[in-house]
Structure 1
Amino acid sequence: MIKQLVSALALCLATALPGVAQTGIGTPVTAEILPGWVKADGTRIAAIKFKLAPGWKTYWRAPGDAGIPPQFDWSRSDNLRGVGITWPAPKVFREGGVRTIGYKDELVLPITLAPRQTGKPMRLTATLDFGVCSDICVPQQLEVSALLDSTDRTPTPAIAAALAARAYSGSEAGVRSATCSLRPTANGLTIETRLDMPPAGRRELVVIEPGQPGLWAGEMNSKRSGGTLTATGDLSAMSGGAVAIDRSAITITVLGDNRAIEIRGCTPG
């Protein structure tokens, strides 16, 4: 599984820049900061808005085996203590036998900003490393910066809509139980999740995020039987060593035709 990931990323990186130069498409994505509003506790709800050229898509935090996971560097910001990201529910793309997870056309990514000094202006500077794909994959690095000094408390419609588009929590979606069984393999572990929950649509894709540095989860094979959704896949250590799992750190996301559900943690199965 790790070899497949490295090969996919190497292919994207090897073909990206020459492909752009040859096709003359220009920049396939732009980004800007939406300043948002200030909450009563002093935190700010803002967003980064990505605008993609027609036919291009970018990736969710867990992009699939052929995708490029996004990374954000906020370290050059001023008066910023912490950042929380709320991901809108992504779409599943199935093209040429490859399954990736992400967004097309436009992505408004809400961020919750905690200042070091409440009531003082904030300079938000972010370096964004991510991938976009059409017929080719192009790694991108963009820098966005804005002075956030307004005290407006009126929610921005575009950001509010993106917040409303997040995945349902397990309790909101009626998840009754979530268990994880683990079995050692030559390269790590096989994980099987069993979710007692109502259907999220005709097609349901289960995504596992281990929640621990150095661990990689491969694609899951999902099937439903009545009220139970079962998914099986592999967990591997990037270093190739032994794998230890904290079940409470695992995030299980179900992407269905009708809705997305995010479940935090699982119990032994």
Structure 2
Amino acid sequence: MKFAPLPLFAALLVSAAPVVAEPAPAQVTLLPGWRMDNGHHMAALRVTLDDGWKTYWRAPGEGGIPPEVDWSQSVNVAGVTYHWPVPEVISRDDMTTIGYKHELILPLELTPAQAGDPIHIDADILVGICEEICVPLEAQVDAVLNDTDRDPDPVIERALAARPDTAGEAGVVTASCTREDLSDGVRVTARLDMPAIGADEIVVMEADNPTIWVSEAVSVRDGAGHLVAHADFVPPNARPFEMTSDDLRLTVIAAGRAVDIDGCDLSD
């Protein structure tokens, strides 16, 4: 999959006419949201896409670009929790990616450093968008979120309701994993005792450390009905490394549903 260089969509004309910039096929805006009873502030990033374009989930699959947000210039932000809605598995040209078509509403739960004070959002955002080629799209949002804003936004509420099921809600009985050293990292095999959530289930494995590259998982239902998947985890130094149960996150996706399994009982 090819990536176009920045700047995006600059149309170069071979003439004396001025350069005309074509409009980007995606727009990134901030939904200001509301201050919650617990003192946090619920806002959301909105990525609106032209027909035929897509953007990516936090674990985008082959060739995708996960969203990145630089909060360092923001004021009164002690932490941010992302509430990802269930993504879509998108297959094209023998490549599988995970993301969203048409629109992504990504709820952001902001924890203020000083409760009750306004939150000044000044964030630089990078999202990957893709049609025939994939390109990084840069955006910037600047807004003040006040403690007096108390009315929930139904658009954000719908995105929150579209979250994955927890392991308990999905009836996951056990989630066990084994690790095997490779020459350049570790192979993890997960065995999930859980009801099927639909046809063509896939398992996405993630490492707690974002610098670790994780391959696309190979998954299948075994003869006992367990969902079994394996993926390779390769750190920057390309060597085997130690892992704990808390280092792993598994997501099962199928038929418009997802199950979020945070942690996996790990053994060698």
Q: Deviations over 1:102-161 (max 9, x none)?
A: 011111110011112222221111111121000111111110111112523332100000
Hey, what does 2:199 align to over in structure 1?
202
Say which SS state the counterpart of residue 158 (structure 2) adopts: helix
Structure-2 change in CA distance of 1:134 and 1:258 (3 Å): closer
TM-score (norm 2): 0.90
Structure-2 change in CA distance of 1:13 and 1:243 (3 Å): farther
Say if 1:175 and 1:195, in contact at 8 Å, map to a contact too. yes
Say if 2:218 and 2:231, in contact at 8 Å, map to a contact too. yes
Say if 1:17 and 1:138, in contact at 8 Å, map to a contact too. no
Q: Deviations over 1:46-99 (max 9, x none)?
A: 111111111110110000121112211111111221111101110011000010
Q: Which amino acid aligns with 1:110?
A: P
Say which SS state the counterpart of residue 61 (structure 2) adopts: coil
In 2, Cα distance between equivalents of 1:262 and 1:238: 26
Give yes or no for the alignment of 1:65 onto 2:62. yes
Q: 1:50 aligns with which of 37, 47, 59?
A: 47
In 2, Cα distance between equivalents of 1:212 and 1:246: 12
CA RMSD of aligned residues (A): 1.9
Give yes or no for the alignment of 1:169 onto 2:169. no
Hey, what does 1:12 align to over in structure 2?
3
Q: 1:74 aligns with which of 71, 94, 102?
A: 71
Instruction: Give the gaps of 5 or more residues in structure 2.
Output: 13-20
Aligned length: 259
In 2, Cα distance between equivalents of 1:159 and 1:18: 29
Give yes or no for the alignment of 1:228 onto 2:218. no
Q: 2:116 aligns with which of 94, 115, 119?
A: 119
In 2, Cα distance between equivalents of 1:153 and 1:31: 23
In 2, Cα distance between equivalents of 1:165 and 1:41: 22
Hey, what does 2:28 align to over in structure 1?
31
Q: Which amino acid aligns with 2:181?
A: P
Instruction: Give the gaps of 5 or more residues in structure 1.
Output: 1-7
Structure-2 change in CA distance of 1:213 and 1:136 (3 Å): closer
- Greater C-alpha radius of gyration: 2
Say if 1:63 and 1:102, in contact at 8 Å, map to a contact too. yes
Hey, what does 1:4 align to over in structure 2?
none
Shift of 1:183: 1.0
Give yes or no for the alignment of 1:266 onto 2:257. no
Hey, what does 2:82 align to over in structure 1?
85
Q: Which amino acid aligns with 2:152?
A: P
Give yes or no for the alignment of 1:152 onto 2:146. no
The structure whose residues are more often helix, as a share, is 1
Say if 2:116 and 2:147, in contact at 8 Å, map to a contact too. no
In 2, Cα distance between equivalents of 1:36 and 1:150: 11
TM-score (norm 1): 0.90
Q: 1:110 aligns with which of 107, 112, 119?
A: 107
Q: Deviations over 1:15-38 (max 9, x none)?
A: x7587637x752011111111111
Q: Which amino acid aligns with 2:133?
A: I
Q: 2:254 aligns with which of 250, 253, 256?
A: 256
In 2, Cα distance between equivalents of 1:25 and 1:164: 35
Shift of 1:216: 1.3
- Which stretch shows the higher mean deviation, 210-219 or 84-93? 210-219
Structure-2 change in CA distance of 1:88 and 1:54 (3 Å): same
Say which SS state the counterpart of residue 157 (structure 2) adopts: helix
Identity %: 40
